A and B are shown apart, each in its own frame.
Chain A
Amino acid sequence: MNTVDAKACPIIANHIKVALVGQPNVGKSMLINSVSNAHLHVGNFSGVTVDKTEVLFDYKDYHFTVVDLPGTYAFTDYTIEERVTHEYLCAEDYDIIINVVDSTNLEKNLQLTSELLTMSKKVVIALNMSDEATKEGININAEYMAELIGVPCIKVSAATKEGIAELIEAVMLKHETPKNKPKLVFSESVEEEIAQLVWYLDKHKFKSTNSYRNIAINLLKGNKKTYAKLHDEPIWVELQPILIEASKHIELHHDSDDIKESFAEEYASFNRGIAAEVLKQKKQEEKKTLTEKIDSVLIHPLFGIPIFLFFMWLLFQLTFEIGNIPMDYIDMFFTWFGNTIGATIANDDIRSLIVDGVIAGVGAVVLFVPNIIILFIGIALLEGTGYMSRVAFLLDGFFHKFGLHGQSFIPLVTGFGCSIPAYMSARILKNDRDRLLTLFIIGFMSCGARLPVYVLFAGAFFAPDMAGNILFGIYVSGALLGLVAAKVLKITAFKGKDEPFVMEMPKYRLPTFKLIWHTVLTKTMMYLKKAGTFIAGASMLIWFLSNYPHNSELIKSYETKIETTQDKALKLRLGHQLSEAELEQSYLGTIGKFSEPLFTPLGFDWKMSVALQAGLAAKEVVVSTLGVLYALGSDVDQESSSLMGAISKNIPFPSAVAFIVVIMIYLPCLAASIVFTREAGHIKYFFYLFAFTSVAAYVMAFIAYNVTLLLV
Chain B
Amino acid sequence: MKTLLDCHKACKVKILKLNTSGDLKQRLISFGIMKGAEVEVLEHAPAKSTIEIKVGKMRIALRGEEAKLIDVEKI
Which residue numbers of A lie inside 8 Å of B, CB to CB?
73-74, 76, 78, 104-105, 107-108, 111, 256, 258, 260-261, 264-265, 268, 291-292, 295-296, 299, 301-302, 304-305, 389, 392-394, 396-398, 400, 406, 430, 498, 500-507
**If A105-B58, A107-B56, A264-B29 touch, does A396 touch B35 (CB 8 Å cutoff)?**
no
B residues sitting closer than 8 Å to A (CB atoms) are 18, 21, 23-37, 42-47, 49-50, 52, 56-63, 65-66
- Contact present for A502 and B61 (CB under 8 Å): yes
Supply 8 A–B pairs (Cβ within 8 Å), ascending by A. Answer: A108-B57, A261-B29, A268-B34, A296-B43, A299-B45, A502-B27, A505-B52, A505-B61
CB distance from B29 to the nearest CB of A (A): 4
B33 to chain A, nearest CB (A): 8
CB closest chain-A residue, reference B32:
A108
Nearest first, the 8 A-B pairs at minimum CB distance are: A397-B49, A74-B30, A505-B59, A73-B30, A501-B63, A393-B61, A76-B26, A264-B29
Residue of A nearest to B57 (CB): A105
Once A78-B30, A296-B43, A397-B49 are accepted as A-B contacts, the answer to whether A104 and B58 lie under 8 Å apart by CB is no
Q: Which residues of chain B are within 8 angstroms of A299 by Cβ–Cβ distance?
A: 43, 45, 52
A120 to B52, CA, bound (A): 37
Among A107, A393, A502, the residue within 8 A (CB) of B66 is A502
Give the secondary structure class of B's interface.
mixed
B24 A500 Cβ-Cβ under 8 A: yes
How would you classify the secondary structure of chain A's contact residues: helix, strand, loop or mixed? helix
Q: Are B43 and A295 in contact (CB under 8 A)?
A: yes
Are A504 and B43 in contact, with the CB atoms below 8 A? no
Minimum distance in angstroms from B71 CB to a CB of chain A: 14
Residues of B within 8 A of A500 (CB): 24, 27, 62-63, 65-66
State in angstroms the CA–CA spacing of A394 and B43 once bound together: 11
Chain B residue contacts of A268, Cβ below 8 A: 32, 34, 36-37
For A406, the chain B residues whose CB sits under 8 A away are: 50, 61, 63
Tell me the bound Cα distance from A400 to B52 in angstroms: 17
Interface contacts beyond A398-B49, A502-B31, A505-B60: sample of 4 additional A-B pairs, CB < 8 Å, sorted by A: A74-B29, A500-B65, A505-B61, A507-B59
CB contacts (< 8 Å) of A394 on chain B: these are 45, 50
Known: A295-B52, A406-B50, A500-B24. A392 touches B61 (CB 8 A): yes
CA distance in complex: A121, B58 (Å): 28
Quick one: given A74-B30, A265-B35, are A503 and B60 in contact (CB under 8 Å)?
Answer: yes
The answer to whether A393 and B31 touch (CB under 8 A), given A108-B57, A258-B25, A501-B62, is: no
Which of these, B28, B37, B43, contacts A502 with CB under 8 Å? B28
Cα distance A438–B42 in the bound complex, in angstroms: 29
Task: Pick the contact of B34: A73, A264, A292, A505 (CB < 8 A).
Answer: A264
Task: Across the interface, name the chain B residue whose C-beta is closest to A302.
Answer: B46
Q: Which residues of B contact A301 (CB under 8 A)?
A: 43-46
Complex: A78 Cα to B32 Cα, angstroms: 15
> Which one of A78, A393, A396, A507 lies within 8 Å of B23 (CB-CB)?
A78
Given A74-B30, A258-B25: A502 and B60 interface contact (C-beta under 8 Å) = yes
Q: Which residues of A contact B37 (CB under 8 A)?
A: 268
Do residues B63 and A396 form an inter-chain contact, with CB atoms below 8 A? yes
Partner of B27, one of A78, A105, A108, A498: A78
CB-defined contacts of A507 to chain B, threshold 8 Å: 59
Complex CA–CA separation, A392 to B56 (angstroms):
22
- Please give, as numbers and ranges, the residues of chain A lying within 8 Å of B57 by CB-CB distance: 104-105, 107-108
Inter-subunit contact A76/B47 (CB<8 Å): no
Report A-chain residues with C-beta under 8 Å of the C-beta of B60.
502-505
CA A527 to CA B34, docked complex, whole Å: 47
> Which residue on chain A has the smallest CB distance to residue B17?
A256
Taking the closest CB of chain A, its distance from the CB of B54, in whole angstroms, is 9
Q: B50 to A393, Cβ gap below 8 A?
A: yes
With the chains together, A291 CA to B35 CA distance in Å?
27
